Amino acid sequence: MNIYQKLVEVRKAVPYLKKEARGNQYNYTASSQVLASVREKMNEMGLLIIPKILAARVSEQTVEHKNKDGEVFKKTSTYFTELDLEMIWVNAENPEETISVPWYGQGVDIAGEKGVGKALTYAEKYLILKTFNIPTDQDDPDSFQMKHYDEPKEGQNNTPTPKVVSSKQADEAKGKMISEVAILCSELDLSPEWLEAKLQKDFGKKALAECTEVQLRRVINGLKKHKAQKAQKEG
């Protein structure tokens, strides 16, 4: 078989994936589950995936946590790693036969040292899902508080007054919001897979960087609401 025929055989072997990994009030399809679904068939077909990093970008954002008196009691930094990749499929029986796919990966990390690993895992997971057109369970049981975003009340106009800001100011503001989402998810023990699923379900987006400021604010409000409710239950 040539490399394309082998890829088709792998595609035939994985018709569907159910979200089996369990998190805090949600299910998701884990990266390990995706890889495990095709690993045996890839071995049988003699197919390899070789990632090649073409470019990397890391942005750091620091969020100040303040008490009710406005005093800063903690600062948390998050690191957003983006990788431009070339994912290369190789036919091990004929190594000269390859398929190169331009690809992208991203990862958010609090400590900073795991960003590249998370971005590579993200890239591998979605390469497999999209190459083999693997559907995943869309009936998420995570219809939790985050879907109840703060919406304008009836008869109330919450439209903000337009502001003229520079591109740099807009990027900085958006970066701070992305960092705040990452910190809230970390505090609530919500995984990157959960966040990806929510963005896809609510906005049709795969990553925080693709969201508008309005959408990011809705995510932040939902997470803060969940955090307050969680603290109330624990208290």
The string of DSSP letters for 158-198 reads: -PPPP----HHHHHHHHHHHHHHHHHHHHHTT--HHHHHHH
Query: Which helix (H) or strand (E) covers residue 99, if one does?
Result: strand 98-109
Query: Whose structure tokens read 């919500």?
Result: 190
In this predicted structure, the answer to whether residue 146 has a pLDDT above a threshold of 60 is no
Sorting pLDDT into bands at 50, 70 and 90, what band is 141? Answer: very low
Domain assignment present for residue 154? The answer is: no
> Can you give the residue range of the structural domain that contains 31?
3-138+166-234
205 burial (CB, 10 Å; 0-12 / 13-18 / 19+) is middle
Tokens matching residue 133: 């057109």
219, part of any domain: yes
**Which is more confidently placed, 146 or 177?**
177
Average of per-residue pLDDT across 182-200: 81
- Count the domains in the chain: 1
Task: Please give the mean pLDDT across all residues of the chain.
Answer: 77
HSE (side-chain half, CA atoms, 13 Å) at 4: 0
Distance between CA 126 and CA 132 in Å, rounded? Answer: 10
Is 148 domain-assigned? no
Q: Which residues pair with 56 in a beta bridge?
A: 83
In a domain, 87, yes or no: yes
The fraction of the chain above a pLDDT of 70, given in percent, is: 76
Residue 60: inside a domain, yes or no?
yes
Q: Answer yes or no: is pLDDT of 163 > 70.
A: no
State the pLDDT at residue 79: 84
Q: Give the whole-angstrom CA distance, residue 39 versus residue 33.
A: 10
pLDDT one-digit tens code per residue, 71-114: 877 777 788 889 999 999 999 999 999 999 999 998 888 766 78
Range of lowest pLDDT (85-99, 150-164, 211-225): 150-164
Distances (CA, A) of 44 to 34, 36, 41, 186, 226: 17, 13, 5, 39, 46
- For 155: left if phi > 0, alpha if psi spans -120 to 50, otherwise beta; the answer is left
In a domain, 158, yes or no: no
Q: Supply the pLDDT for residue 103.
A: 95
In a domain, 150, yes or no: no
| Percent of residues, the chain, with pLDDT higher than 90 | 23
User: Is residue 222 in a domain?
Assistant: yes
Identify residue 225 by its one-letter amino acid code. K
pTM of the prediction?
Answer: 0.55
The Cα 108–Cα 192 span in angstroms is: 8
CA gap 48, 28 in Å, rounded: 26
